Amino acid sequence: MTKRWVGIVVSGDKVIVVDAEVPDAGQLVLQNDDTWKMQGGDRAAAYNVIGQQCRDYLRANGVTKVLIKASAVSLGGTKIGHLRSAELRGVIKGAAASVCEVKEFSKAALSRNFGDRKVDEYAKDDAFWMTHFTGEELRVGSREAAIMLLAESGRNE
């Protein structure tokens, strides 16, 4: 049975969204590869708007699972940008959890447990993505969100 899942990576004031149909076997069918940007002005109001955008999108498209890239440890000390990304990630996680199942993946765990290469190496490999996805074209900057879909579906190369 085909499922509808979304992979999400939050960075700064942006949310990268990769939406795919996930059949029991074969290629994932990319439905959407988009970036949602937070509106300017009051952050609380902007969080409300992007949270509602997330809920509306997931409901309208029948999404049953959201996979979110987890926060990473900052070796150079925590800066305000890192904290704001974490705030936005929390807003998106909460909004998604009000609609469907939510699961987090760390990049380090993906690099250890997915295939035989690190996530960044997969991200650079155009041929890899063409063999795993069909439908719309997947943007290079969206591949971290997409690899979570592959890992969760058991397609570990």
73 pLDDT tier (thresholds 50, 70, 90):
low
Rounded distance between C-alpha atoms, residue 118 and residue 106, angstroms: 12
pLDDT of residue 137: 84
Beta bridge partners of 102: 66
* Residue 102 identity: V
pLDDT tens, position by position, 19-65 = 999 999 999 999 999 999 999 999 999 999 999 999 999 999 999 99
Q: Which of helix, strand or coil describes residue 121?
A: helix
| DSSP-assigned beta bridge partners for residue 77 | none
Task: Output DSSP code: residue 138.
Answer: P
> Can you identify the CATH homologous superfamily of domain 3-153?
Ribonuclease H-like superfamily/Ribonuclease H (3.30.420.10)
Tell me the pTM. 0.93
d(CA 68, CA 89): 8
Structure tokens at 41: 């002005």
pLDDT of residue 37: 97
Give domain limits for the chain.
Answer: 3-153
State pLDDT tens for residues 107-151.
Answer: 888 888 888 889 999 999 999 999 999 988 899 999 999 999 999
Instruction: Give the tens place of pLDDT for each residue, 75-113.
Output: 666 677 778 888 999 999 999 999 999 999 998 888 888
CA–CA distance, 157 with 149 (Å, rounded to integer): 12
